[in-house]
Amino acid sequence: MLIPYLSCLNTNKCEELKGRVGGLHLYLEMFLAGFLFLLIFVLQIAMAVSGYILESSPKHYDSDAILPKFESSPGRFKVGVGLALFEHFCVIALAVLLFLVFSPYNLIWGIVLLVFRVIEGLIQVYIEGGYWGLLGLARRYSAAKGKEKASLSDSHRAILDTKNRRFAVAMVCWSIGTFAFTMLLLIFALVPPIIAWVGIVACIVVGINSAIKVARGKGVQVLLVGALLAIAFEVIIGIWLIYYAVFFL
């Protein structure tokens, strides 16, 4: 178990908890979980720098602007997809580590956390198969004319639409899995309440908006707020886990 943030004022309690969960194993699991939270954030930044399209905005549907970039820099495109796949597998590994650390508090919440975050990661891995098709499409687009070019442009938009819908489903799974995690943090007072509440609000905003996207194909303007809250929560909790792993176990 993770040591409640106020309990660590009691050295005997800390030792008792540490002995109960196996000491070094817990230390490693907590540290790695915190590290993965931060690594996932760094990987997402690297993906954006590489030109990877995480979620399409109107500018990404401009075939004349986007596809030539992919065709002229295939290596950069491949790096972006490679980083994305690595990020998705990190999400799955993180879900397993969080389950190992937190499920002793409440097995049901732990199972919900594990199942939905693993599904999230697997959906995103599956998404990359369709996204990879943009590279071949870009190569054909540069030499195409007339109806063929219009057809390829339609295919480009269809790939992005499909990616967006599947990504929205993945974000619904993220919201459910992370909500279970934040409830564990809140109910068992594992972190200051404000941290857990930031995560809960992020889950609600992102989850509702993503569900609307799945149903209607288009979300609402509050998505940016949810995304910023989600980033803040995951960075803070990542630092928190590393801090406790290093200084209190």
Handedness of CA 62, 63, 65, 69 (dihedral sign): positive
Q: How many domains does the chain have?
A: 1
Assess if residue 35 is contained within a domain. Answer: yes
Q: What is the pLDDT of residues 99-114, one digit of tens each?
A: 999 999 999 999 999 9
**Which residues, at least 6 apart from 196, have a Cβ–Cβ distance to it below 8 Å?**
182, 183, 185, 186, 190
> Is residue 181, in this structure, part of any structural domain at all?
yes
Average pLDDT, the chain: 88
> What is the reported pLDDT for 223?
64
pLDDT higher for 219 or 69? 69
φ, ψ of residue 131 to 5 degrees: the values are: -65, -35
Taking residues 130-157, what's their average pLDDT? Answer: 91
pLDDT at 21: 46
Residue 93 has pLDDT above 50, yes or no: yes
Alpha carbon 20 to its chain's center: 31
Global pTM value? 0.88
For residue 217, tell me if it sits in a domain. Answer: yes
- Name every residue whose Cβ is closer than 8 Å to that of residue 209 and which is 6 or more positions away in sequence: 219, 220, 222, 223, 226
pLDDT at 239 over 80: yes
Whether 1 maps to a domain, the answer reads no
On the question of pLDDT at 95 being above 60, the answer is: yes
Q: What's the rounded Cα separation, in Å, for the pair 108 and 209?
A: 25
Cβ neighbourhood burial of 204 (10 Å; 0-12, 13-18, 19+):
middle
CB neighbours (10 Å) of residue 50? 18
Higher pLDDT, 38 or 57: 38
Q: What is the pLDDT of residue 68?
A: 92
**pLDDT value of residue 215:** 86
| Of 20-24, 138-142, 243-247, the least confident | 20-24
Cα–Cα separations (whole angstroms), residue 84 to 53, 79, 207? 10, 8, 21
Per DSSP, the residues of 137-152 read HHHHHTT--HHHHHHH
Please give the pLDDT value at position 154: 94
CA distance 106 to 207: 23
- Domain span at 113: 7-247
Residue 28 CA to residue 225 CA, distance in Å, equals 33
Q: How many CA atoms lie within 13 A of 1 on its CB side?
A: 22
Q: Would residue 2 count as lying in a domain? A: no
Residue range 210-224: mean pLDDT, rounded:
75
| 60, 53 contact by CB (below 8 A) | yes
pLDDT at position 221: 55
Task: Give the per-residue pLDDT at 10.
Answer: 36
Is 231 a member of any domain? yes
pLDDT digits (tens, 9 = 90+) for 66-88: 999 999 999 999 999 999 999 99
In a domain, 167, yes or no: yes
